[in-house]
Structure 1
Amino acid sequence: MNKSLTIVALATLVSACSNADWRTASREPAGIAPDPQQEQEAVIEVYGADAFSWRGWFAIHTWIATKEAGASEYKVHEVVGWRVERGQPALYSYHTETPDRYWYGAKPEKILSLKGEQAAQLIPKINQAVQNYPWKNEYSVFPGPNSNTFPAWVSLQVPELGLEMPFSAIGSGYAN
């Protein structure tokens, strides 16, 4: 392949990276989570979306959302590497009505969804597992710990979840 063709191919690949600028990438709700104002049952959902930029060609970012029965918001738990770079814990939890927001331009998909009594019984176990997560302040793209290590580790602590991480959840095997 000649040099010009190589440069054009590389430029095409780079331009195909969605979300070259994280500041302008969509963080809108995807509309796939039950509305917490209308859903009165307990809910557990695990989401995955293509990782940011070129990493999304082969890997996803995952997170866990829980909503207790009668709650008007979800509690989202996730691990993010750039928090460590800023001197903050990689693991953080926050409350929101929209746990299914786009991951910097990438639409999330549900990996797991549980409702009702089963979810109500598992939420306290998930909360305990979140508290006990051993890599709260660590992040490594490969082999982990990373955003996929976290839900995989929670699922080992709470096997009743029945969470099966997708192949593209690189770093999920770190928890084993």
Structure 2
Amino acid sequence: MLRFLRRTMLALILMFLVPLLAASGWWSVQDRPASWRQADWGASGLLPAAAQIPEARIHVMAARTGGAKGAVSVHSWIVWKTAQGPWRRYDVVGWGTPVRRDAYAPDARWYSNAPTIIGTVSGDRAEALIPRLQAAVDDYPNGRGSYRMFPGPNSNTFVEHLLRQVPELGVTLPPHAVGRAWLGEGLNWTRDAGGDMHVSAWGLAGLSAGPRTGVELHLLGQTLGIDILRPALKLPGIGRVGV
């Protein structure tokens, strides 16, 4: 029994470590700005102007963050527009008032890194969900002075809070969104509005299971798991690998 446990622990460590080493090797050869002052924070052109879209729309977005941490983590945010309204962007940063509205272009690069769209909801469904998202933004419990890059609460903790409050979005943050599993200090558990169960020990270790997240094991801000309904592996430092 002891040998089995040792082999299981070794296998889990390798399943976390090997993808992280691969992501770090890839990141080390990327052309990156030396500091935030030299980074490009402008619009990427990924999203059209709001006036060109006649319907309501919600996008969950993410981009690699800056510095060495970009090898293993993304920064995430959410943007939306009502049928007749402008784009609104909400994300959390580590200085000043944490929850920012429209501090950057809706599709802005983050530390020069181009964003990707993690999930989208459009039309009447989006129009119905936007008031609930706004309420979840207003209800975000981590205010000024609470930001911590690791293990959280940070930008990814904020977006994951929204996704748990409005599970109808059907979106899960990438496995390398460090901070997504943070539930507070100490040992915590919760069942979100979509029925997924989450357990976290200080944001350093934990697990999640349910229809939205699949099955996930969390360790030091990274996630190893499998998405059952949308078949994919979730790999630390790399993200989703699937159909």
TM over 0.5, yes or no? yes
Alpha-carbon RMSD across the aligned residues, in angstroms, is: 1.9
Contact 1:17 1:54 (8 Å CA) reproduced: no
Give the counterpart letter for 1:70 in structure 2: Q
**Matched position secondary structure for 2:47:** coil
Q: Does 1:112 align with 2:126?
A: no
**Matched position secondary structure for 2:113:** coil
**Matched position secondary structure for 2:35:** coil
Higher relative contact order (CA 8 A, sep 6+): 1
Please name the residue that 1:68 is paired with: 82
**Matched position secondary structure for 2:182:** helix
| CA offset digits 1:92-125 (Å, max 9, x no partner) | 11277x4111012010011111111111000000
Please name the residue that 1:153 is paired with: 161
Greater strand share, structure number:
2
Count of residue pairs brought into register by the alignment: 157
Partner Cα distance (1:163, 1:50) in 2: 18
Q: Does 1:130 align with 2:121?
A: no
Please name the residue that 2:128 is paired with: 121
Partner Cα distance (1:14, 1:151) in 2: 28
Contact 1:74 1:95 (8 Å CA) reproduced: no
Please name the residue that 2:223 is paired with: none
Please name the residue that 1:8 is paired with: none
Taking the TM superposition and a 5 Å limit, the aligned residue runs for 1:1-176 are 18-71=32-85, 73-81=86-94, 83=95, 88-94=96-102, 98-137=105-144, 138-175=146-183, 176=198
Give the counterpart letter for 2:115 in structure 1: P
User: Which ranges in structure 1 are unaligned for 5 or more consecutive residues?
Assistant: 1-12
TM-score between the two structures when normalised by the length of structure 2: 0.61
Greater helix share, structure number:
1
Range that drifts further, 146-155 or 30-39: 30-39
**Matched position secondary structure for 2:136:** helix
Give the Å deviation of 1:16: 5.1
User: Which ranges in structure 2 are unaligned for 5 or more consecutive residues?
Assistant: 1-26, 184-197, 199-243
Q: Which runs of 4+ in 1 moved over 3 A?
A: 13-17
Give the Å deviation of 1:15: 8.2
| CA offset digits 1:48-89 (Å, max 9, x no partner) | 000111111110000010111111x211110001x1xxxx22
Partner Cα distance (1:95, 1:141) in 2: 19
